[in-house]
Amino acid sequence: MTRALVAGAAVGLGLALLARGLWPARPTLAAALAALHRPPPAAPAPGAWRATLGHAVTATLRDLGVEFGPLRQDLRVVGRSVEAHVAEKVLFAAGGAALATATSTLMRLTGTHLPVLVPAWAVLAVGAAGWFAPDLVLRAEAARRRRGFRHAVGTFLDLVAVSLAGGTGVEGALHGAASLGQGWGFDRLRQALDRAELAGQTPWDALAELGEDLGVAELRELAASLVLAGHEGAKVRRSLTAKAAAVRHHQLANLETRAAEATERMVLPIGLLFFGFVLFLGYPAFAAIVTGL
């Protein structure tokens, strides 16, 4: 029965892959246009087997219609390529499957005989967990970077408002404020403003694109406020000051929420520690009662 189930699953998987290969998924219009303007991939350096693996698997998945769209924004935030992330996913999946296979083999060698279906499902489950584990790590790292970037945006808004109050023009205030800060957030702001200056683009359009690229709504709101700077400079200055205060208030609320969550998470280990302490104190009396009976 078990062999029949495994054979049926293998045949079904093979038929599904064959059907996917004969009738591949139609690419979206955006993917087709991007493929026309995509530069040829650079040849990986000799010995860079992870880069080679990432390029090969990404190209195969792209042919099957898998584009990793939801992850691309997080990858841009952390500064990692899709190929490197895919290579990491493959390595984690292969490592998890190998670990599950080695564990089942060791159990069989030590005399623990399991049905064939149990190790097979364990290998699939651990391999799938290894495939999705880098995505969870990526989302956590991107969220942490976005929090730091929002802090940089709040400081940037304060500096721009101070420069505008001193009579500096809007573009000068933006470039001057970006040049004063340090860290990853201010580096991205400087790069966006420098590219806009070289390309003849307005700085607020560049900030809006950066906010859209990184998924930071505060930058898009800043760009919308700066559009009015040509005619309503004083109002824009007050708007930027209020927006900086709102950003700081939002960050403070997030910090308080995270502190409350950390406090709630501490309840369980403290409760378990208290239960173990009570059990340790009460065990001698309980043992004496049972022995006396």
Share of the chain above pLDDT 70, in %: 79
Alpha-carbon span 91 to 68, nearest angstrom: 17
214 vs 244, more confident: 214
Query: Contact at 8 Å (CB) between 168 and 237?
Result: no
Number of other residues whose CB lies within 10 A of the CB of residue 282: 10
Q: CA geometry: angle at 33 spanning 30 and 38, to 5°? A: 115
Which segment of 31-40, 46-55, 99-108, 169-178 scores lowest on mean pLDDT?
31-40
State the pLDDT confidence band at 44, using cuts at 50, 70 and 90: very low
User: pLDDT averaged over the chain?
Assistant: 77
Which segment of 20-29, 92-101, 276-285 scores lowest on mean pLDDT?
20-29
Alpha-carbon span 242 to 218, nearest angstrom: 12
The token pair that represents 33 in the structure block: 């246009």
Which segment of 123-127, 150-154, 188-192, 247-251 scores lowest on mean pLDDT?
247-251
State the pLDDT confidence band at 11, using cuts at 50, 70 and 90: low
Query: Contact at 8 Å (CB) between 185 and 153?
Result: yes
Alpha-carbon span 17 to 13, nearest angstrom: 6
The token pair that represents 86 in the structure block: 């895919």
Residues whose CB falls within 8 Å of the CB of residue 95, separated by 6 or more in sequence, listed in order = 130
State the pLDDT confidence band at 77, using cuts at 50, 70 and 90: confident
- Max avg pLDDT among 133-142, 174-183, 242-251: 133-142
Number of other residues whose CB lies within 10 A of the CB of residue 42: 8
At 179-232, the pLDDT tens digits run 888 888 888 889 888 888 888 888 888 888 888 888 888 788 777 777 765 545
Query: Contact at 8 Å (CB) between 85 and 134?
Result: yes
Alpha-carbon span 9 to 14, nearest angstrom: 9
User: With 60 as the cut, is the pLDDT of residue 18 above it?
Assistant: no
35 to 62, 162, 203: CA distances (angstroms): 10, 45, 29
Up-side HSE of residue 7: CA atoms within 13 Å toward CB?
A: 4
Q: Considering only CA atoms, which of 58, 65, 44 is closest in space to residue 90?
A: 58
The structure's pTM equals 0.65
Alpha-carbon span 26 to 37, nearest angstrom: 18
Alpha-carbon span 70 to 89, nearest angstrom: 15
